[in-house]
């Protein structure tokens, strides 16, 4: 049943995303609850396109189906004057919550938090907590998190299901479970790190005086992770982070051509390196057959190292100051992998071509190139970070250039010496 529901939702998202000419009409044809669900699953560009064109009454009826934090995320795509106009027309509870949330930087923990919570004292009874829980649900239509305080400081939370199983006269202290806290001005990276270090489904956001400000749920953090992963994928490919699959040809060209031109320039550098050994290649044509193997293996090995380094940098596991051990390990791994793959290609050359000299040259080039891949795959992202640049952005271009140029230099250089 759930898979059928997901399939229907995906189909709606696809139809609205890929039909820009009648996108608004398709959206308005949906029931209001379905509109709200679809809106939260669209890309920010399509969200902006829809809510910018949506008549205010339809936008309000759609937003009122959502949680305050979701409403905040969506209306922040609008110009400030229209944001204020929309907030002023929300129902009283949503208005108060959204006004609070829009005061905070969306890139902080406060920008992720949900304000559906109640806080109770450690000495309260289950009956008292249930009363507050029901009052919040009746007022807002949403189930709150139950945060437990001692002397105005957070000591834990109570799972909602405990209210249905405990005796009304029980004190809540025996049902309290641990919950982590985070400052409202903490970054998204700090928030993600907290969830990774202490897996749980929610975190309490606290203010400067340890007062409760809201709750962050794991699904909010998953959205941050998805955005970060998408950004990393775009960076690795040299594609702009605002490009999407539905963009026009003109938009795609605009976002990509600069990096492709840079890549073209580096490709000419590799071609120039090869041209220095034109006479050797002309004399020993077999070398040209195996050159793509040298380039391909070096590029793939470098990309593997780069992926590990970017993840380590994002998790603050490595900096340029403590990189020596990682550099040594990556170079060592490249050396061992080079020996393994070098032995394989050497055997292939011997079996197919009966040429022991070319087999030796190719195997040595493989070892050197995979060591180069490990070294440059480690150094380049760290240097980019040191200079305040995104460590993933276009790094593959520079790393692949290093493996191509140095790989060809070793392969053809050895060939010039050994086969002369």
- 258-280 pLDDT, tens digit per residue, is 777 887 888 888 889 889 998 88
Looking at residue 341, what is its pLDDT? 93
Binned at pLDDT 50, 70 and 90, residue 204 comes out as very high
In degrees, to the nearest 5, what angle opens at C-alpha 364 toward C-alphas 362 and 366?
70
Q: In this predicted structure, what is the pLDDT of residue 389?
A: 66
Q: Which residues contact 72 (CB under 8 A, 6 or more apart)?
A: 98, 101, 102, 106, 111
Q: Give dist(CA 41, CA 114) in Å, integer.
A: 18
Give the class (CATH, top level) of 117-226: alpha beta
Mean pLDDT score, 130-146: 87
Q: Work out the angle at residue 135's Cα, subtended by the Cα atoms of residues 133 and 138, and round it to the nearest 5 degrees.
A: 110
Q: Is the model's pLDDT at 257 over the cut of 90? A: no
**How far from 162 is each of 113, 130, 173, CA to CA, in Å?**
24, 10, 12
In sequence order, which residues have a C-beta less than 8 Å from that of residue 357 and are 6 or more positions away?
418, 419
Q: Do the strands 117-121 and 145-150 form a parallel or antiparallel pair, or are they unpaired?
A: parallel
Cβ(147)–Cβ(118) below 8 Å: yes
* 184 DSSP assignment: T
Helices (H) and strands (E) in the chain, counts: 18, 6
- For the domain 2-103, what is the CATH code? 1.25.60.10
Alpha-carbon dihedral sign for residues 24, 27, 28, 32: negative
Q: Helices in 238-318 by DSSP H: which ranges?
A: 249-275, 278-283, 286-314
Please, which pLDDT band fits residue 319 given cuts at 50, 70 and 90?
Answer: confident
pLDDT number for residue 149:
93
| Residue 34 pLDDT greater than 80, yes or no | yes
Checking if the pLDDT of 236 tops 60, the result is no
**CATH no. for 249-418:** 1.10.357.20
Does pLDDT of 363 surpass 80? Answer: yes
Q: Is the pLDDT reported for residue 394 higher than 70?
A: no
Q: Residue 90 in contact with residue 63, Cβ under 8 Å?
A: yes
Nearest-angstrom CA–CA distance, 252 and 242:
10
Residue that is written with structure tokens 């470098």 in the block: 302
Query: Can you tell me the distance from the alpha carbon of 311 to that of 81, in angstroms, rounded to the nearest whole number?
Result: 40
Q: Is the pLDDT of residue 69 over 70?
A: yes
* pLDDT class of 147 with cuts at 50, 70, 90: very high
Q: Contact, 286 vs 355, CB < 8 A? A: yes
Is the pLDDT assigned to residue 228 strictly greater than 70?
A: no
Answer whether residue 206 shows pLDDT above 80: yes
Instruction: Say which DSSP state 209 is in.
Output: T
pLDDT reported for residue 244: 60
Residue range 384-408: mean pLDDT, rounded: 77
Convert 29-60 to b/e letters by CB count within 10 Å (16 or more is b). ebeeebbbbbbbebeeebbebbbeebeeebbe
pLDDT at residue 229, rounded to an integer: 58
Q: Is 217 helix (H, G, I), strand (E, B) or coil?
A: strand
In this predicted structure, what is the pLDDT of residue 61? 92
CATH topology of 2-103 equal to that of 117-226? no
Count CB neighbours of 108 within 10 A: 19
For residues 364 and 359, what is the distance between their CA atoms, to the nearest angstrom?
A: 9
Q: Highest-confidence range of 14-23, 274-283, 297-306, 341-350, by mean pLDDT?
A: 341-350
SS3 126: helix
d(CA 113, CA 154): 16
Euclidean distance between CA atoms 121 and 372, whole angstroms: 61
Confidence class for position 182, pLDDT limits 50, 70, 90: very high
Whether 5 has a pLDDT exceeding 70, the answer reads no
**Percent of the chain's residues with pLDDT above 90:** 27
Where do the structural domains in the chain lie, given as residue ranges? 2-103, 117-226, 249-418
pLDDT of 380 over the 90 cut: no
Residue at token pair 């050797």: 280
- Using a 10 angstrom Cβ sphere, with 0-12 exposed, 13-18 middle and 19 or more buried, the burial of residue 231 is middle
pLDDT in tens, 327-340: 999 999 999 999 99
What is the pLDDT, as a whole number, of residue 351? Answer: 93
Residue 366's pLDDT is 93
Q: Other CB atoms closer than 10 Å to residue 74's CB: what's the count?
A: 23
Please compute, for residue 148, the number of CA atoms within 13 A of its CA located in the half-sphere on the CB side.
Answer: 22
Burial 123-150 (b: 16+ CB within 10 A, else e): ebbbeebbeebeebeeebeeebbbbbbe
CB atoms within 10 A of CB 363: 20
For the cut 80, the answer to whether the pLDDT of residue 241 exceeds it is: no
pLDDT for residue 332: 94
Q: Residues 406, 412, 416, 418: is their CA dihedral positive or negative? A: positive
Average pLDDT for the chain: 85
Least confident of 132-136, 317-321, 345-349: 317-321
């Amino acid at each position: 049943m759930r898979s059928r529901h997901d399939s229907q939702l995906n189909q709606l998202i696809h139809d609205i995303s890929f039909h820009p000419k009648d996108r608004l009409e398709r959206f308005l044809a949906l029931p209001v609850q379905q509109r709200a669900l679809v809106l939260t699953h669209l890309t920010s560009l399509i969200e902006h396109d829809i809510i910018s064109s949506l008549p205010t009454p339809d936008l309000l009826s759609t937003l009122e189906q959502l949680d305050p934090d979701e409403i905040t995320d969506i209306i922040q795509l609008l110009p400030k004057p229209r944001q204020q106009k929309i907030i002023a027309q929300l129902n009283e509870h949503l208005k108060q919550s959204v006004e609070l949330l829009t005061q905070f930087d969306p890139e902080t923990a406060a920008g992720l938090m949900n304000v559906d919570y109640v806080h109770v004292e450690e000495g309260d009874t289950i009956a008292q907590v249930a009363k507050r829980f029901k009052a919040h649900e009746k007022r807002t239509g949403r189930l709150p998190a139950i945060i437990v305080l001692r002397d105005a400081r957070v000591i834990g939370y109570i799972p909602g299901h405990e209210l249905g199983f405990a005796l009304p006269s029980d004190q809540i202290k025996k049902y309290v479970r641990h919950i982590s806290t985070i400052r409202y001005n903490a970054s998204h990276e700090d928030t993600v790190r907290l969830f990774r270090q202490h897996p749980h489904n929610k975190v309490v956001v606290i203010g400067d005086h340890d007062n409760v400000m809201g709750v962050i749920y794991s699904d909010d953090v998953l959205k941050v992770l998805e955005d970060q992963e998408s950004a990393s994928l775009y960076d690795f490919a040299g594609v702009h982070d605002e490009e999407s699959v539905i963009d026009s040809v003109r938009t795609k060209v605009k976002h990509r051509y600069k990096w492709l031109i840079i890549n073209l320039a580096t490709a000419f550098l590799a071609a120039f390196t090869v041209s220095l050994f034109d006479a050797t290649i002309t004399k020993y044509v077999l070398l040209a057959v195996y050159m793509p193997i040298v380039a391909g293996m070096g590029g793939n090995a470098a990309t593997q190292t780069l992926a590990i380094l970017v993840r380590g940098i994002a998790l603050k596991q490595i900096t340029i100051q403590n990189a020596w051990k990682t550099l040594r390990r990556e170079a060592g791994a490249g050396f061992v992998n080079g020996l393994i793959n070098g032995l394989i290609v050497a055997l292939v050359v011997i079996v197919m071509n009966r040429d022991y000299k070319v087999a030796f040259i190719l195997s040595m080039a493989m070892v050197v190139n995979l060591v180069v891949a490990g070294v440059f795959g480690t150094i380049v992202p760290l240097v980019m970070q040191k200079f305040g640049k995104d460590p993933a952005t276009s790094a593959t271009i520079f790393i692949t250039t290093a493996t191509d140029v140095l790989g060809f230099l070793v392969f053809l250089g050895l060939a010039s010496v050994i086969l002369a």
